[in-house]
Amino acid sequence: MVNITINNKKIQVPEGTTILNAAKQAGIDIPVLCYHPDLDIKANCRICVVEVEGARTLQTACSTRVWEGMAVRTNTPKVRQARKIIVELILAGHEMDCTYCKRNNRCDLQKIAADLGIRENPFRHVERDLERDTSGPSLERNPNKCIKCGRCIQMCGKVQGLSLLDYAGRSDEVEIKPAFGKYLTDIACVACGQCAVVCPVAAITEKEDIDRVWEAINDPDKVVIVQTAPAVRVALGEEFGFEPGKVVTGKMVAALRALGFDKVFDTDFTADLTIIEEGNELLQRLSNGGVLPMLTSCSPGWINFIEQYYPELLPHVSTCKSPQQMFGALAKGYYAAKIGKRPEDIFSVSIMPCTAKKYEAQRPEMSVDGKNPDVDVVLTTRELAKMLRQAGINFDALEEEEYDAPFGLSTGAAVIFGATGGVMEAALRTVYEVVTGKTLPSLDFKDVRGLEGIKEATVDLNGTPVKVAVAHTLANARKLMELIKSGKADYAFIEIMCCPGGCIGGGGQPYGTTNEVRKKRIAAIYEADRDLPIRKSHENPAIKKLYEEFLGEPLGEKSHHLLHTHYNDRKA
Amino acid sequence: MSNKVKKLLTARFGVVSPDSIEDYIKNGGYASLKKALGMDPEAIITEVKASGLRGRGGAGFPTGIKMESVRRATGSPKYVVCNADEGEPGNFKDRYLMEKDPHQLLEGMIISAFAAGADYGAIFVRGEYINSIKILDNAIKQARKAGFLGKNILGTGFDFEMDVYSGAGSYVCGEEFALLAALEGKPARSTFKPPFPTTEGLNGKPTQINNVETFANIPHIIDMGGAAYAALGTEASTGTKLISLSGNVNHPGLYEVTYDITLREIIEELGGGVPGGRAVKMVQLGGPSGPIIPPSLLDLKIDANEMRKYNLSIASGAIIVIDDRADALDILVRIMEFFHHESCGKCTPCREGLGQVLGLLDKFVDGTATEADLKLLRNLLDVMSQASLCGLGQAAPTAIKTILQYFGDELCGRIGAAKEVK
């Protein structure tokens, strides 16, 4: 332990602690912009400067580690002036349309400026007028708002292993952008949106589609239905002041009804369906000598990755559509007829923790009638929160409500799709019982849970040990792909989720996502699983009914048409 | 006066051919290496510490301590890196050292590597110094052939290799962290410290990084011994100093002096004074990143103790003489345009600050500046020098700050000038 004083307060902290974390312990918040707890320390924004006794210059709290006897002052006139001028300098080069900005009231820079009491900017405004990139269906880049903190570079490079963004140029002409200034749609971007989650301002954001949903809701000729992904219910509450990890399923359902959706369904239903189809596909591959290991296909960022980086491994990918797209196909290819409507009369919205889902929904093959997309609009968790605020819905005051039939009933196996390892665990619960005919002694496959990058487990299926693996983030996915290519991957089944922590850490989730927050959301996911009466997909009575009434059998002709898809080699 | 000119590092200039290792050896070259390789590395460090040698790149950190830190640091391999990115306008001493006597630098680096426990050395040469690069490349080949580089040097079991590297000419490469980044093949941008290069330098390994002139001193320290070397200088500043004298002087050029010489002696006696008998108006020390001082301070000796009284130092040894025709504001605009162009853009104060400084200076040029602009300029400069990530942003304000200190009227006098003209 090291003894230091911060603002005359004596504290003891472990050796190696940064001033930033030591101050936190002393109850002092130091503002940060480039710092992010899950990324490397960069110390380039200089907002966190403090006075350290004996130092010639101000020191950055994020990067400077304490030493015995260190005396730190975080609130001197010199420190306040430095922070104020630094923020004024940033604002002078920043597109100042805060009231129109997507991140108004959700912006780190705005908050710091407010906290520092900046009322005017003495510096001349520097008009950058750089081209915005609105080329893609998922993400938009506005370089005029970029503050060059470099968080997105680290996220894309270090966590996802893609390195599609970097600094270009120098001095005040520095920009963070794809190589040669290409559009996001012209590079091998997977649209995961992790850059947008860590961006402290609105330099990279999801493409907003809220108005299209309002339009549909207000159209009397449309039946507007909505599906909600497993991970949304454990994060949406954060947008309304709940602690991370609060399960708000019932309130979310009530809120969606209050917005005017005709039917509120659950993507969990098609997650259960995915398990039935994917589980059977796995069994078929195992018994027919099919391509193994089989790879999951629910994460569209991951699909974008393998199509662009490892197309030679596409035969490994399950042909199952993602739960979102299975839902979309059923909505237009089954539900419409069931309620006496044409597919085009149904407007299908999905609420996702994900930005890549926006891309997935507009893929041409994701259309049962070949004309209209099966999922018309994808909104992120953040966009849903915005809609609720626009509608003046007091989320906290809502009474909990239930999902609508027939796509409202789901199991614990479906809920855990939201966490890394969840799809694997859900699949194992079903595959084990289908193969062995025995009831699982414990439903919890704890080896595949948690934030470790690559997890492994072996399951005994009637005397045959079946080895499985789980990876989250694309840097980890890449390791497994290389292992498969080298012929050393002795797994039967691999789950891959694009985003850190799985969908609960998706690119469309509330700002402020950190690994600490991810852990809380994951805990909530397993809590929701534990609390559900049915925890195995194959025991979902609504799924059984759907097969009896419409689909016939898993991997059958209707399934093939509606629930399975194909992939494309998109390597540049 | 002549006793203050001392040829130590420049002694072989013009005597040896830079292309000839034989010339160098004939004139005493590599004798220090032979001597050093017979010494205990700790004893070399003791001599270097006793010599009082301080870094000649500008910051003046004690070289022996740096060497010792690298030796003590855990981590392998260890490196020596020579900062030969002499990009600061007004500096040309390193170029002379590389182009007139390249083996002196090599010898200094090899001895330093032996002392610090390094087995690889890199010389990072300013991109524009094409001739220096050629000469060094050739010198390294010769040294390798002669057995001063490579495996089992002179049969002592010491292995050491080195190569020449260069950038594309970015000024910030002279900043040591940016230089190390460039050596690693990354864009030349600095990073926060600590950790310092002595523990986490090139490729994250312990690295002794020194200026060309610093390394060039090492063979002489080994040759004469630390105490004798220390006796050459003053109490605070030992050895000799290379001075790059330029600007409005009759005899600009490179001079090697001892630290008891005054700025005035350098300018008037070595430099032959200002052409046309004009008066010195101001002198900039070190280059654009250095202070601009008035003639009243020219009687200061370049010794560290004496200059420190005025918060000055001789730094890298550049002395730029500016005569009475010059306009301070004009000079400042040029200097700040230089830094604005050269900022790497990584940290906020430097990236966004320099453009704003230029904007404020423009107001003084136009005569539209107000008292509030002056206050803002002062505050901005304070924050840049206090909060910038690296030496570039921290030092960029020095010229304006010292003009405000010593020639305040040149700026303050322009406040509201436009109104007066009307």
pLDDT tens figures, B55-83: 999 889 999 999 999 999 999 999 999 99
pLDDT for B51 beyond 60: yes
- The residue in chain B having the minimum alpha-carbon distance to the alpha carbon of residue A49 is B387
Identify the residue with better confidence: A382 or B3: A382
Structure tokens at B328: 């301070």
Which pLDDT belongs to residue A355? 98
Q: Which class is domain B240-323?
A: alpha beta
Q: Pinpoint the residues of chain B covered by CATH 1.20.1440.230.
A: 328-421
> What is the nearest CA distance from A251 to chain B, expressed in angstroms?
43
- Best to test chain A binding among B172, B193, B339, B356 (most A CBs inside 10 Å): B356
pLDDT tens figures, B204-235: 999 999 999 999 999 999 999 999 999 999 99
Range B328-421 has CATH code 3.60.15.10: no
Which pLDDT belongs to residue B2? 63
pLDDT for B340 beyond 80: yes
pLDDT for A542 beyond 70: yes
Q: How far apart are CA A506 and CA A489, in angstroms?
A: 27
Q: Per-residue b/e over A163-181, b at no fewer than 16 CB within 10 Å?
A: ebbbbbebbbebbbbbeee
- Cβ distance B380 to A85 less than 8 Å, yes or no, reads yes
pLDDT for A441 beyond 90: no
- Cβ distance A49 to B385 less than 8 Å, yes or no, reads no
Q: Pinpoint the residues of chain B covered by CATH 3.10.20.600.
A: 240-323
pLDDT for B420 beyond 80: no
Q: How far apart are CA A505 and CA A474, in angstroms?
A: 13
- The residue in chain A having the minimum alpha-carbon distance to the alpha carbon of residue B196 is A64
Beta pairing class for B292-293 and B280-285: antiparallel
What is the arithmetic mean of pLDDT over A389-401? 97
B390 touches chain A (CB under 8 A): no
Q: Pinpoint the residues of chain B covered by CATH 3.40.50.11540.
A: 2-232
pLDDT tens figures, B296-338: 999 999 999 999 999 999 999 999 999 999 999 999 999 999 9
Which pLDDT belongs to residue B416? 83
Cα atoms in the 13 Å half-sphere on the side-chain side of B87: 24
For A332, residues 6+ apart whose C-beta sits below 8 A from its C-beta are A343, A346, A348, A368, A369, A372, A374
- Cβ distance B351 to A174 less than 8 Å, yes or no, reads yes
> What is the nearest CA distance from B118 to chain A, expressed in angstroms?
27
pLDDT for B417 beyond 90: no
Question: Percentage of chain A with pLDDT > 90?
Answer: 97
Which pLDDT belongs to residue A572? 79
pLDDT bin (cut points 50, 70, 90) of residue B413 is confident
Q: Among A234-243, B141-150, B165-174, B327-336, where is mean pLDDT lowest? A: B165-174
The residues of A annotated with a catalytic role in the active site are 278, 281, 298, 318, 357, 360, 365, 503
How does DSSP classify residue B4? Answer: G
pLDDT for B167 beyond 90: no
pLDDT for B421 beyond 60: no
What distance, in Å, lies between the first and last C-alpha atoms of chain B?
Answer: 54
Is the ipTM above a cut-off of 0.85?
Answer: yes
- The residue in chain A having the minimum alpha-carbon distance to the alpha carbon of residue B341 is A171
* Burial of residue A548 (number of CB atoms within 10 Å: 0-12, 13-18, 19+): exposed
For A294, residues 6+ apart whose C-beta sits below 8 A from its C-beta are A281, A282, A285, A316, A317, A318, A492, A493, A494
pLDDT tens figures, A344-375: 999 999 999 999 999 999 999 999 999 999 99
**CB-CB: which of B170, B351, B386 is closest to A82?**
B386
pLDDT tens figures, A264-311: 999 999 999 999 999 999 999 999 999 999 999 999 999 999 999 999
Domains, chain A, with CATH or none: 2-75 (3.10.20.740), 124-206 (3.30.70.20), 211-563 (3.40.50.1780)
pLDDT tens figures, A155-196: 999 999 999 999 999 999 999 999 999 999 999 999 999 999
DSSP-derived 3-state class of residue B88: coil
B168 touches chain A (CB under 8 A): no
- Which CATH fold would you assign to the domain B2-232? Rossmann fold (3.40.50)
Question: Percentage of chain B with pLDDT > 90?
Answer: 94
Which pLDDT belongs to residue B1? 58
Question: Are A57 and B192 in contact, with CB atoms under 8 Å apart?
Answer: no
**CB-CB: which of B187, B194, B352 is closest to A93?**
B352
pLDDT for B422 beyond 70: no
Mean pLDDT of chain B: 96
> Which pTM value belongs to this model?
0.95
